[in-house]
Structure 1
Amino acid sequence: MQQERLDAIRLGVRSAGPVRRDRVDEALHRLQWNESPYDFPADLKEEALRRLASLPWSRYPLSGRPWPLIDALAARFRLSPEQVVVSEGSSDLIRAVMAATLQPGDSVVMPTPTFMLYRLNAHLYEGSGVQVPLDATSGFCLPVEALAEAARKHNARLVALCAPNNPTGTRYAEADLRRLAASIPSLLVIDEAYAEFCDQNLTGLLELGNVILLRTFSKFYAMAGARVGYALAAPTLAAELQKVVTVFPLSVFSETVALVALEHHERFLAMRDRVVAERERLAAALAQLPGVIVYPSATNFLLVAVNGRKQALLEHLRDRRRVQISDVAAYPELAHCVRISVGTPEQNDLVIQGFTEMFGE
């Protein structure tokens, strides 16, 4: 066999870790990936399937971009269609932004801890991730001056962050984000995956010209399996991003389901309100336990610090309560923490029971 030419693969890809063949245990209650605990409504599934049945599956979509969905999103946010880019999940748009902007050696400034994909994609494109620590003692607030200083010092191509932040759940004030955008010599990428859980709308920042907002249908619209995300930006920026998303970025299935979801937005507001109410109930119950600290959250998950018994807790929840939560040990500063996706009332009761069995007096 001829020698495999791995030298043809760019260094950032070769030096990244391999993709593991993981599979979620379907027998467990899945409270680790911040998914919606409630499925896409059954009657809306039927409506989407009815529309799909009338479409020719043998044909490519009618255009290289899902313009009907782009138009619908523009109307919802009162923007022009030229400001909207759609792709298969906001994760792909993070990749697209970095593919469009980074040259080897370019810097990407980000707070830490934050979503791992910023660091991973910067590495894949041979950029340098510059991390600015968040301070737990101050509630993981946004370090505007430190991020701006790092961006200037390293002549950063991008500053990237989550708002609200994953994995801490912290909401950042719009005034702070505006101040950051106005004080950096680069693009500011704001991942708003959880924005609907705190009624956040940052489209006013787009007037600054260097802000890209990323959003997803995965959380609020209960569509993580359908893979639909979108970016909002100034028309000139959006036009460049359109060039780097793949041709036909959505299947006819994904676009149809997303259009149905937008048409029934109020249905998902009611689902969101149930999640938020459960988040507050779960947070209050866990905060009463000794050795447990629950951080404020504006998302559909909770970051929880536990006093020295994290591994035992994870095993107890999995083995006794059949609940899988997230061990956030990949973030060194959160080695003592777990992250809990808010579930149904019944699932949250299992979490409360498991925590009480471990930490109750």
Structure 2
Amino acid sequence: MNLKDLIRKEVLSQTAYPAETLSCRIKLDANENPFTLPPPLKDGIFEAMKKIDLNRYPEPGSHRLRARFAQHYEVERDMLMIGNGSDELIHTLCTAMAGRALDVIVPVPTFAMYKISALNNGHRVIGVPLNTSFDLDLGVILEHLATTKAATLVFLSYPNNPTGNCFNQQKIKTIIEQSPGIVVVDEAYFPFCRKTFLPFLKRYENLVILRTLSKIGLAAMRIGFLIGPPSLIHEVDKVRLPYNLGALSQVAAGFYLDHEAAFLKQAEEITKNREELFDALKQMEGVHPWPSEANFIFFSCDFDVDSVYNNLIEEDILIKNFNAPGIMRNCMRVTVGNHEENEEFLAALNNTIAKVRRVV
């Protein structure tokens, strides 16, 4: 017996998520917060975790945490669901809608997990390339929404990963208004732009919002939130795995609410560093950064970025290489680091560009 015959064809056709396994001294590839917690806060969170009985299961459904974050986001408790990071919630939403004809519409380029989760659940993915300004091609998206005979699920990263820009708000509203299905606005990078669709939840019954604590400093804990109409959350919650959020993660999430000001202060520092990094990249000949509202900067080069990427690794610096034919040709993404990391990256990039040009 060939064991592969037991696996669904949608899974066989996929590759695993391409998470970077390289280890470099300066890691600017995964859009993480470069700052650790101040020692008093780090001690505080560890003390809180010491009270956990590791032989006991965590609170199922994170009910107390749901109530606290619902109040934090100013929504009703039954409008919010907590997951093991946004990735789990994206997958859970796609799973809840599996078994029926579903068109999942995503911009290209955008966060890879939308496509991966949709395909792994047997859905058809329609990728709509962004225009030359990295904004939504509204006409093409509306045409798909108007002509499809299937139910629809639209994923919009806001700001978009990897380009860093917030799509035009009116375009998103138009998509929500004309969509026969659900529109998910992923606000993973909200701390760095402070733009949100939360106020529109009462207006649009087909709007769902994703939030996470990963980008603001708790990536190791994997804490995400799905916020939407109670009727949808009630159904999606049925396919959520029990005990999906560990006890330590629940403690960390509560700790975040108790000390949010410290996390937001770090987000402000990252935003300041982002502008300085953008200005420095803009001064480099042959480097073209795109204005960002996230904690990373997307940029293109006038030369082979594969060589740039490999040379940076030799300098013990890791960023994300997006080089591909078309709009992504010679494009890369760098996470905003602390001041010292950014300075080392800029110096290494200058040296690397000089090397690449000499070879050419």
**TM class, shorter-chain normalised?**
over 0.9
Aligned length: 353
**Preserved contact between residue 135 and residue 168 of structure 2 (Cα < 8 Å):** no
2:209 to 209, 213, 226: 213
**Preserved contact between residue 33 and residue 337 of structure 2 (Cα < 8 Å):** yes
Q: What's 2:294 paired with?
A: 299
Q: Tell me how far 1:55 sits from its aligned partner.
A: 2.6
Q: Tell me how far 1:148 sits from its aligned partner.
A: 2.0
Q: What's 1:46 paired with?
A: 43
Evaluate the alpha carbon distance shift between residue 45 and residue 326 of structure 1 in structure 2; reply closer, same or farther with a 3 A threshold: same
Residue 236 (structure 1) aligned with residue 234 (structure 2):
no
Equivalent-residue separation in structure 1 for 2:115 and 2:20 (angstroms): 21
**Preserved contact between residue 104 and residue 125 of structure 1 (Cα < 8 Å):** no
Q: Tell me how far 1:18 sits from its aligned partner.
A: 4.9
1:66 to 53, 57, 62: 62
Q: What's 1:147 paired with?
A: 141
TM-score normalised per structure 2: 0.93
Q: Tell me how far 1:330 sits from its aligned partner.
A: 5.8
Q: What's 2:130 paired with?
A: 134
Q: What's 1:6 paired with?
A: 4
Equivalent-residue separation in structure 2 for 1:35 and 1:56 (angstroms): 29
**Preserved contact between residue 44 and residue 260 of structure 1 (Cα < 8 Å):** no
**Preserved contact between residue 290 and residue 359 of structure 1 (Cα < 8 Å):** no
Equivalent-residue separation in structure 2 for 1:236 and 1:243 (angstroms): 12
Evaluate the alpha carbon distance shift between residue 201 and residue 18 of structure 1 in structure 2; reply closer, same or farther with a 3 A threshold: closer
Residue 36 (structure 1) aligned with residue 30 (structure 2):
no
Q: What's 1:325 paired with?
A: 319
Q: Tell me how far 1:211 sits from its aligned partner.
A: 1.0
Equivalent-residue separation in structure 2 for 1:357 and 1:167 (angstroms): 25
**Preserved contact between residue 302 and residue 339 of structure 1 (Cα < 8 Å):** yes
Residue 342 (structure 1) aligned with residue 336 (structure 2):
yes
**Preserved contact between residue 313 and residue 355 of structure 1 (Cα < 8 Å):** yes
**Preserved contact between residue 152 and residue 179 of structure 2 (Cα < 8 Å):** no
Equivalent-residue separation in structure 1 for 2:13 and 2:30 (angstroms): 26
1:352 to 341, 346, 360: 346
2:118 to 122, 141, 150: 122
Bigger mean CA offset, 168-177 vs 93-102: 168-177
Q: Deviations over 1:97-143 (max 9, x none)?
A: 1001133652111111111111111111121111111022xx21122
Look up the equivalent residue of 1:60 and give its one-letter code: Y
User: Aligned runs of 1:185-224 on 2, under 5 Å?
Assistant: 185-207=180-202, 208-220=204-216, 222-224=217-219
Equivalent-residue separation in structure 1 for 2:131 and 2:170 (angstroms): 19
Evaluate the alpha carbon distance shift between residue 263 and residue 21 of structure 1 in structure 2; reply closer, same or farther with a 3 A threshold: closer
TM-score normalised per structure 1: 0.92
Bigger mean CA offset, 50-59 vs 83-92: 50-59
**Preserved contact between residue 102 and residue 157 of structure 1 (Cα < 8 Å):** no
**Preserved contact between residue 308 and residue 353 of structure 2 (Cα < 8 Å):** no
Evaluate the alpha carbon distance shift between residue 356 and residue 297 of structure 1 in structure 2; reply closer, same or farther with a 3 A threshold: same
Q: What's 1:77 paired with?
A: 73
Evaluate the alpha carbon distance shift between residue 20 and residue 112 of structure 1 in structure 2; reply closer, same or farther with a 3 A threshold: closer
SS at match of 1:214: strand
Equivalent-residue separation in structure 1 for 2:319 and 2:163 (angstroms): 15
Bigger mean CA offset, 13-22 vs 228-237: 13-22
Q: What's 2:15 paired with?
A: 17
Q: Tell me how far 1:50 sits from its aligned partner.
A: 1.7
Q: Identity percentage over the alignment?
A: 27
Evaluate the alpha carbon distance shift between residue 268 and residue 287 of structure 1 in structure 2; reply closer, same or farther with a 3 A threshold: same
Give the gaps of 5 or more residues in structure 1: none
Bigger mean CA offset, 289-298 vs 168-177: 168-177
Aligned CA-pair RMSD? 1.9
Evaluate the alpha carbon distance shift between residue 61 and residue 18 of structure 1 in structure 2; reply closer, same or farther with a 3 A threshold: closer
Give the gaps of 5 or more residues in structure 2: none
SS at match of 1:131: strand
Evaluate the alpha carbon distance shift between residue 115 and residue 251 of structure 1 in structure 2; reply closer, same or farther with a 3 A threshold: same
Q: Tell me how far 1:39 sits from its aligned partner.
A: 1.7
